[in-house]
């Protein structure tokens, strides 16, 4: 047998062995006629959505029903957590409106036509997971009753609310933000220590109401107070004693003529806005204050020595910005201001009122 024949025989043997090995290797697998393993099967949960609304497939827990001229609240499936029904024509909320919607955490019913007489008592009672409730821009005359204690943010601005009663909101102890701007609140309308029970309240907005005095019984947790655009004429001595941690006070556009010298001596106060009042006397500026707005008042002089009676170089005053335009100041600000407030970046002097602007014509 020649050399070529020998290699031919060896090659045939090798191919035969390789075929046997391949058969042994694949014999445990199913044939083409048998069903292959279902390795790529996905299941999609089908969530119900009201026919008037849109529920994004990517996040079916939200239901969008805004800008649809709805007269009533659509049926809310039990899985929905966020309901957006703003900018419609809804007037009423009944106890049946949220019968199955026990998972709701966020409801936006702003910019509708809600009326207090058509909001049934207990309409929100079953919503024991509700955190945010937007009812601004409606026709409500009072705060809805039986709101869940889980609420953290309650927006009631731009309604017709004229009173707050302790029975209505005192037990809302989880509220952190309460917005009541642009209503019809009066001093007499805040009754029964209505706000004192809100132990977690951080921010209250009562701007653009009919208040003549500062709101009473604010809780000690408060950090921001907004009472702009009222008719408040005074702040009592020691008024902020029960709110020592307050960071921001906004009382612009009122009728303040004077404030007690130490009324703002608060260790954490950072922002104080008293613009558009009738103030003319200087008061003590706390070390923590960073922004002070005194524009559009009646100051004829700014006594820096009264604002800052002493200088502590180890604990310097934090004031960086003061606005004093549209007063009755004459001449420049005392240069001592930069010694007393070493972090000052800007004193906005601007234009001043003319001396004869407020004098009666002869």
pLDDT tens, position by position, 300-344: 999 999 999 999 889 999 999 999 999 999 988 888 899 999 999
- Lookup result for tokens 């106060």: 269
Q: Is CATH 1.20.120.530 correct for 235-356?
A: no
Q: What is the pLDDT of residue 22?
A: 42
Buried/exposed code over 311-337 (b: 16+ C-beta within 10 A; e: otherwise):
eeeeeebbbebbbbbbbbbeeebeeeb
The Cα-based distances of 140 to 110, 112, 172, 205, 296 in angstroms read 11, 10, 19, 17, 34
Q: So where are the chain's domains?
A: 235-356
Nearest-Å Rg of the Cα atoms of the chain is 35
The Cα-based distances of 31 to 24, 25, 26, 255 in angstroms read 14, 13, 9, 91
pLDDT category at 20 given cuts 50, 70, 90 is very low
What is the chain's mean pLDDT, rounded?
88
Q: What is the pLDDT of residue 245?
A: 96
Token output for 310? 């002493």
- Reported as type and span, the H/E element at residue 166 is helix 166-169
Q: What is the pLDDT of residue 127?
A: 96
Q: What is the pLDDT of residue 357?
A: 56
CA nearest neighbour of 300 among 350, 359, 353: 353
**DSSP 8-state assignment for residue 276:** S
Q: Residue 91 CA to chain centroid, in angstroms?
A: 25
Contact of 234 with 277, CB cutoff 8 Å = no
pTM above 0.75, yes or no: yes
DSSP structure string for 104-143: --EEE--SS--BGGGB-TTTTTT-TT--EEE--SSB-SSP
Q: What is the pLDDT of residue 165?
A: 85
Distance CA 109, CA 140 (A): 12
Contact of 95 with 122, CB cutoff 8 Å = yes
pLDDT in tens, 86-120: 999 999 999 999 999 999 999 999 999 999 999 99
């Amino acid at each position: 047998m020649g050399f070529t024949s020998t290699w031919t025989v060896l090659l045939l043997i090798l191919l035969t062995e390789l075929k046997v090995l391949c058969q042994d290797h694949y014999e445990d697998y199913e044939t083409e006629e048998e069903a292959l393993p279902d390795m790529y099967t996905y299941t999609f949960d089908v969530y119900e959505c009201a026919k008037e609304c849109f529920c994004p497939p990517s996040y079916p827990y939200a239901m969008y029903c805004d800008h649809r001229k709805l007269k009533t609240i659509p049926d809310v499936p039990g899985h929905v957590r966020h309901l957006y029904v703003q900018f419609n024509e809804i007037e009423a909320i009944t106890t049946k409106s949220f019968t199955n919607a026990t998972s709701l955490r966020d409801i936006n019913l702003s910019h509708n036509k809600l009326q207090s007489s058509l909001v049934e008592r207990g309409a929100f009672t079953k919503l024991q997971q509700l955190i945010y409730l937007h009812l601004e821009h409606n026709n409500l005359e009072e705060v809805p009753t039986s709101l869940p204690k889980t609420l953290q943010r309650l927006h009631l601005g731009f309604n017709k609310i004229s009173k707050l009663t302790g029975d209505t909101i005192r037990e809302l102890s989880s509220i952190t933000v309460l917005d009541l701007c642009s209503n019809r609140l009066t001093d007499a309308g805040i009754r029964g220590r209505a706000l004192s029970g809100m132990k977690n309240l951080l921010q209250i907005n009562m701007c653009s109401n009919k208040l003549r005095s500062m709101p009473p019984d604010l809780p000690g947790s408060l950090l921001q107070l907004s009472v702009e655009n009222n008719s408040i004429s005074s702040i009592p001595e020691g008024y902020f004693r029960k709110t020592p941690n307050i960071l921001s006070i906004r009382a612009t556009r009122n009728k303040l003529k004077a404030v007690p010298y130490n009324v703002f001596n608060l260790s954490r106060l950072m922002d104080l806005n008293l613009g558009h009042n009738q103030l003319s006397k200087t008061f003590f500026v706390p070390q923590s204050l960073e922004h002070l707005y005194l524009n559009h008042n009646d100051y004829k002089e700014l006594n820096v020595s009264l604002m800052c009676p002493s200088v502590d170089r180890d604990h310097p005053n934090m004031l960086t910005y003061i606005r004093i335009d549209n007063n009755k100041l004459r001449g420049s600000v005392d240069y001592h201001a930069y010694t007393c407030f070493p972090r000052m970046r800007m004193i906005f002097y601007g234009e001043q009122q003319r001396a004869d602007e407020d004098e009666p014509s002869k």
